[in-house]
Amino acid sequence: MLHFDNVEGHSLKAAVDAASSSSKEVSELQLISPLCEELRKVDMPQQFRDLLRLMLVVDSVQRPSASSVLVSAEFKALEELVTL
């Protein structure tokens, strides 16, 4: 991590420190695997995995509403599994 102790001015030093710490946070976030890889690490039925993938879409425009989820094929498949 870079240190900018020779930066003068409180505002500039605070901005440099914030940028430096935010770049560290990005690196830590990059260590998180994509959702599909993380879900494979957990023992769960494929139907539940499919439903989670449907509901956890990052883009809010593409993410289905709760009512859409309730009528989705993924929800119905999980519902059938649970009622067996």
pLDDT class of 41 with cuts at 50, 70, 90: confident
Q: List the structure tokens of 7.
A: 């930066």
pTM of the model: 0.58
Query: What does the pLDDT average to over 5-25?
Result: 63
Domain spans of the chain, in order of start: 1-32, 34-84
Query: What does the pLDDT average to over 32-51?
Result: 85
Model confidence pLDDT, tens digit, residues 51-79: 999 998 888 999 999 999 999 999 999 99
